[in-house]
Chain A
């Protein structure tokens, strides 16, 4: 027999964190589609200063686009299936923290100028911290 709490946990539900993760998933989905469909356009036009990190490699942009597509899928699953939130959010948060550390390393070693501390703050560092907080919050439930 399935208990009431188990049934609720497996039922798609858009509660507070479901909405946050669902909207976040849409952003990642849009970013992924842009990378996969038009890597040169993404490289040149993303406001995050991607060309500062090196020349365009369309293959690698599409590789990363595939990662972001899977992140979008993971966040969508986390939004709709509360029992998958902790593993899905943990995985995405781990990626975002590692991604942020790569930015820290590349800025510290001078690959990009010090202006990237500010460029990357709202788009790389704060989202990594925020998603780590969200993961902690959903793990408490």
Chain B
């Protein structure tokens, strides 16, 4: 095999291998900020400035997913959730890919204060009573 054919084979193989991992400038999410506000984790979504906070209650936990204007995930330093205007509170702690805190099942509103860089993002979420209430 000539060197040219070897390089061509490596180039084709590398293209096929790398395509899923490349970030394509000029296409995709950089140009679609603020278009899609659908929750992605089965929770409720709120916007604070250009940031998105999605809050989900699952398995006895409150989980907060934070992303930027283009829905790219961010890693906050931490945060706190306040249940029912101060009836209870808990710290949000980073856990793998989201912030998490112990839930208070009876709470109807949750205010999340999330520390991201030098700012605090705050949003309040309200929840309908469950059928057993």
Contacts and interface: CB of A to CB of B under 8 A. Distances in A.
Interface of A: 15-17, 19-28, 30-31, 40-41, 44-49, 51-52, 54-56, 113, 115-116, 118-119, 122-123, 126-127, 130-131
A51 B71 contact: yes
Nearest to A41: B97
B27 A115 contact: yes
Contacts of A51: 40, 71
A17 B22 contact: no
Contact of A118 (B1, B6, B23, B28): B28
A126 B27 CA distance: 16
Contact of A55 (B14, B32, B40): B40
Contacts of B18: 27
Interface size class of B (residues with CB under 8 A): 20 to 34
Nearest to A20: B13
Interface of B: 1, 5-6, 8-10, 12-24, 27-29, 31-32, 35-36, 39-42, 71, 73, 96-97
Nearest to A68: B20
B16 A127 contact: yes
A49 B35 CA distance: 14
Contact of B40 (A20, A46, A54, A119): A54
A27 B17 contact: yes
A113 B27 CA distance: 12
